[in-house]
Amino acid sequence: IRFDKLDFDPANSHPGCTRIAGQSVVICDLGTIAPTGGSPVVVEISLIGTEKGVFNHTGEVGSTTADPDPVNNAASGFLRVQ
């Protein structure tokens, strides 16, 4: 997950998630998931400071195993602070 001007909270996030030092990127190791299965993941982030605006965040998944439907492997969203 990539996030802009937000901070990662590992205490309230999936236990396999860690932040890459010096970057706004969180990596989550989900272990083995069945080809047609899924795994819910919670990653908690919070706004740093009181800056107002629109902040982007993107989630992506990947695997060393071939994915028959890679179209659904990413999503983006926005957080609006007023």
Residue 8 pLDDT: 80
Q: What residue type is 13 in one-letter code?
A: S
Residue 1 pLDDT: 55
Model's pTM, two decimal places?
A: 0.66
Q: How far apart are the C-alpha atoms of 37 and 35, rounded to whole Å?
A: 6
Query: Is pLDDT at 9 greater than 80 in this prediction?
Result: yes
4 Cβ partners below 8 Å, 6+ apart? 24, 55, 56, 57
Query: Is pLDDT at 3 greater than 70 in this prediction?
Result: no
Residue 14 pLDDT: 86
Q: How far apart are the C-alpha atoms of 34 and 11, rounded to whole Å?
A: 27
Which of helix, strand or coil describes residue 72?
helix
CB 2 within 8 A of CB 24: yes
pLDDT tens digit string along 21-49? 888 788 888 888 877 777 788 888 776 77
Residue 2 pLDDT: 57
